[in-house]
Amino acid sequence: MRKCHVREVISSTEFRAGHMWSRCMFSPVVRGLAVGIIAERSRRTGHPWCARLLACLAQFEEAHDESSLCRNSLTDVVSERLHTDRHRTMEFIMAGFSRRTFFAGAAGVAGVGALTLAGCSSASAPSGATSGARWVFHGGPILTMQTGTPPPAAVVVGSDGKIESVRSTFDPKTDSVPGAETVDLRGRTLMPSLNDGHTHSLMAGLLAANKVSDETPDILRRDLQKALDAAPGATDGEWVIGSSGTLAGRQWTFRDLDALSTKRPIAVQSADGHSMIVNTAGLRAAGITRDTPDPSNGSIARDAAGEPTGIVRDGMAAKVLGIASASLPDDQVGALAKATVARLNRMGITTCLDIPMAWESARVWSQLEQAGELNVRARVALILRAEDWTEQTLSDITKVQARNSRGLVKVDTIKLFMDGVPENQTAAMLQPYSDGSNRAPFFELDRLRSMLTALDGAGWNVHIHACGDGAVRRGLDGFDALKGKRNPATRQALAHLYQVDAADLARFAALDVSACMSPQWVSDNSMKALRPTLGDARYDRLFPIGSLNAAGARITMGSDFPVEFKLEPWEAMMMAVTRKGPSDTVPLGLAEKVDLPMMLRAHTAGSAYQLGVDKVCGTIAEGKSADLIVLDRDIVRTPIEQVIDTKVDLTLLAGRGVYRR
């Protein structure tokens, strides 16, 4: 066979026709040459096609890492993308081909196995390290989330992963930064990455893995049987955890699940996370009998003879879910957690509060951090019930904190449930529901104040689930005991806030308590069943973001993911402004609307403060961590109804690319 010039080979008719394409791209030598040529052209010309090709090749490189969990699917996706664009790709490469770019490509061959293109690393890159890449962003709106400062022209990120400078002027022809990846935004938005103030991220993967239908018992059993068949090697002690719809429409019992031929415990949780059906093996594994008392923050459904029916609610459902998740292998939970983190990064989220159902589940975050596989700042909350509080509790939670806090992981928050949810009338209201029923807050005031004083003195943040206005008032009354002696390092929050009495609105600011809102629920279609339960006046005041903001409260954002499996921050922000979901025809309480800039601050600087990372991230300022995102549009000028379509083009955590579209 005659020797061929490289240029001849890669410009041949056969190559352009695509017959050699996949075979060549599987060669690390060819990939290295392509990377070098493209990177050299990017350095010299800044051509926008460079970034796309480099991102594709980076994904392709990750796909050929044998340790990648998604090797085959990612290979297929990237191969398809490169193959589809092969003509333009080769024209681009050939246009930039020269002796200089060839030798730049040859140099790239040696490092192709550890490719982190333009600082964009895979999930397996060490989470505590920076890529050494420097970035310059210019040419588009830059939202710093700082008030009183003019919009900058450029942001420079240093190789230490921090924001090196925020420049008021920038000329790409004369102000180049040597060695930096220069990103011309071309009208797109650069802003701080998002921070999510309330998630159940570890549970998200577990619940998403077995989504089942509760349309009928037969359909539910069919879906659960698929989960059982998919894990033939599981032990009898490993739970099957499923997630369904509302579990409404019939009286479910353990017998509906006992018809399955298995010894494994089974738990099926409702979409809102507040109801669950458990089989007999599950009741036994959770230690639930006729003599088991209802916890202060939940209930066990019982038949006329006092025997458990298999339905558990609120805090008892959370307890069972914690027991179930603790039975699963750490590597299984960890793999699912990595997939959830990738989803967070894709949405532009780099810091979250995770609320696992079991304390020891915090070790999964710690294990990911130790393995260098964590691409999010994980703040972890431990759940406490009123009856859990003893003289030993502070010592116990401090040990969990010490075992699992390292690097990007910090166990620093206590989660309390003050009530349930209005949907099943377990939310504590100041006035009864329309049928005369009501539920008292889960904590007596004296006990709550004693706990909050001790926790605050020990440096723990406290995050309280409070849906009804009675629960909100009880939580604020508890925090009022800290007035004048509050630990300046702690951050306190009330979450969900379906209802807040007018007399309590100003207390949030006065007590420095964040209002963690979930506006993805602001939908008449989703909530209209509550109108007869609450009455028109209370219904129109659901989720009073506008009133809280007007009263000076710090608004933060919490997705409550995976409740209803919603993780769509741009949709949630749109809904807070329009008070309508995508399928709604009428708004829900239009008087409570806010504007988009306020919601952007809530999801960045606001949630950063709530999570105690405001000195690190949440705004764009010199010396802060380069936790940044590039959006696909000028978000402020986008019509509000189109904000839902926003996509994140690039996500940085400490200057390191953790997602690139």
Token pair listed for 100: 């200089």
> Are the C-beta atoms of 358 and 202 separated by less than 8 Å?
no
Q: How far is CA 542 from CA 470, 498, 531, in A?
A: 14, 5, 10
Helix (H, G, I), strand (E, B) or coil at 653: strand
Q: What is the C-alpha separation between 353 and 199, in angstroms, rounded?
A: 6
User: Strands 349-354 and 194-199: what pairing?
Assistant: parallel
Burial class (CB in 10 A: 0-12, 13-18, 19+), 305: exposed
Q: What is the distance of C-alpha 341 from the center of its chain?
A: 7
pLDDT reported for residue 67: 36
In sequence order, what are the residues at sequence separation of 6 or more whose Cβ sits closer than 8 angstroms to the Cβ of residue 94? Answer: 7, 10, 11
Q: Which residues of the chain have pLDDT under 50?
A: 1-23, 26, 61-88, 91-92, 94-95, 97-119, 121-132
Helix (H, G, I), strand (E, B) or coil at 570: helix
What was the pLDDT predicted at 110? 39
Q: Average per-residue pLDDT in the chain? A: 84
Q: Mind listing the domains of the chain with CATH numbers? A: 130-192+617-660 (2.30.40.10), 239-326 (3.10.310.70), 328-616 (3.20.20.140)
Q: What is the 8-class DSSP label of residue 566? A: -
Rounded Cα distance between 281 and 61, Å, is 46
Q: What is the DSSP pairing of strand 628-631 with strand 190-192? A: antiparallel
Strands of the sheet containing 134-138, edge to edge, are 163-167, 154-157, 134-138, 180-184
Exposed/middle/buried for residue 168 (C-beta within 10 Å: 0-12, 13-18, 19+):
exposed
Residue 520, judged by CB atoms within 10 A of its CB (0-12, 13-18, 19+), counts as: buried
Q: Are strands 298-302 and 240-243 parallel, antiparallel or unpaired?
A: unpaired
Whether 267 and 240 have beta carbons less than 8 Å apart is answered as yes
- Residue 117: strand, helix, or coil: helix
The pair of structure tokens assigned to 514 is: 């964040």
Beta-strand (E) ranges in 212-307? 240-243, 266-269, 275-278, 298-302
Contacts of 261 (CB under 8 A, 6+ apart): none
Count of Cβ atoms closer than 10 Å to residue 397 Cβ = 19
Q: What is the 3-state secondary structure (H, E, C) of 210-230?
A: CECCCCCHHHHHHHHHHHHHC
Strands 349-354 and 492-496: unpaired
Contact (CB, 8 A) for 493 and 466? no
With b for 16 or more beta-carbon neighbours within 10 A and e for fewer, the 639-658 pattern comes to: eeeebbebebbbbbbbbbbb
Sheet holding 409-417, edge to edge: 194-199, 349-354, 377-384, 409-417, 461-466, 492-496, 513-517, 555-557
Q: What is the pLDDT of residue 619?
A: 98
In contact, 132 and 67? CB cutoff 8 Å: no
> What pLDDT score was predicted for residue 51?
56
Q: Are 249 and 255 in contact (CB under 8 A)?
A: no
Tell me the one-letter amino acid at 579. Answer: R
Token couple for 624: 């802060």
